Amino acid sequence: MAGAAEKFIERFSRIQVAVHITGALSILILYITGFPISFPEQLGWIPKILFGFPITMFIHRVAGVILLLTALITIIYHTLNAIFIREHFLRHVLPAKKDFSDIIADIKYTFGIGEEKPKYGKYSWMEKIDVYSVIFIDGIILGISGVILMMPFLFMKIIPIHLMLSFKSIHAGFAIISVVGILFHFYMAHLSPEHFPIDCVIFNGEMSIKEAEETHPEWVREIKDEGVVV
C-alpha cells in the first residue's frame, strides 16, 4: 500500500502521456476499422455497425492521420528538447552495450543459472524492443504504406503500377504483426501479475521511488547522481 510519505519521480513527461493516450486510442481504432477491410468475410459485421464501409474507411484514415500527427509531435518535441534544453531523451532509448550484457544476464537469471537480475536503466532491453517495434512497424512501415494506399495515383509517378497492390498485403501483413506486438506490450505493461489489472504510470507519468529502485535501479542511481532525487 502506498504510504503517505511515499516519494514519486517523473517517468514520463506530460507530452509523453498525452502522445501515448492519443497514439494508443488511434491504434485501437485502426485495428477495429482496418481488419474488416482485409478480412471482410469474417469481420464484415463491424463496418455494418459503423454505418458501412465508406464511413469505416474514413474513420480508418482519420485514425491513421492522428497516429502520424502524434508521431510528428513526438519527433518535434524531442528534437526541440535536445536542442534547447539539452534533455537527451535518446540516451535512454538508443541501444547500448549494456543492453546486450543485460540480455545474457537476464536469460541466465530467468533459467536459474545467474544469481542476480540485471540492473536496468530507465528502459530495459525488452522495453527498448517494444519502443522500436512501435516506431518501425506502426510508425514507419504501416505509416508509409498507409499513406501510399491513401493516395496511390500520386505515388504511381514514382512506384511501378504493378507493385501498388502489394502495398495492400504489406499493410495488412504488418498490421497482424503490430496487433501481436501490442498484445505483448499490453501483457508486459498491464496484465502481468506485477501490474494487473492496470499500471497507472503511463497515465499520470509518475512512478514511486520504491518501485523504480526495484525495477530500474540503474536509472534511479543516475537521477540521484544528477540531484533530481535526494
Measured CA to CA, the distance from residue 217 to residue 118 in angstroms comes to 9
Which of residues 53 and 224 has its CB atom nearest to another protein in the complex? 53
Q: Least Å distance between CB 4 and another protein? A: 21
Give the shortest CB-46-to-another protein separation in angstroms. 15
- 3-state DSSP percent of the chain in helix, strand and coil, to 5: 70, 5, 25
Interatomic CA distance for residues 141 and 51, integer angstroms:
29
Provide the binding-site residues for another protein, judged by CB under 8 A: 14, 17-18, 21-22, 37, 54, 57-58, 61-63, 65-66, 69-70, 73, 106-107, 109-112, 126, 129, 148-154, 161-170, 173-174, 176-177, 180-181, 184, 187-188, 192-194
Cα angle value 66/77/225 (rounded, 5°): 135
Q: How far is the CB of 61 from another protein (least distance, A)?
A: 5
Closest approach of Cβ 27 to another protein, in Å? 14
Identify which of residues 122 and 171 has a Cβ nearer to another protein in the complex. 171
Q: Which of residues 18 and 209 has its CB atom nearest to another protein in the complex?
A: 18
Pick 82 or 129: Cβ nearer another protein:
129
At which residue does the C-alpha cell 469505416 appear?
56
Residue closer to another protein by CB (options 43, 62) is: 62
Give dist(CA 198, CA 200) in Å, integer: 6
Least Cα distance to 29 among 52, 46, 8, 54 occurs for 46
CB 36 within 8 A of CB 47: yes
What are the beta bridge partners of residue 9? 207
- Rounded to a whole number of angstroms, the minimum distance from the CB of residue 17 to another protein is 8
Mapping DSSP to helix (H, G, I), strand (E, B) and coil, where does residue 86 land? coil
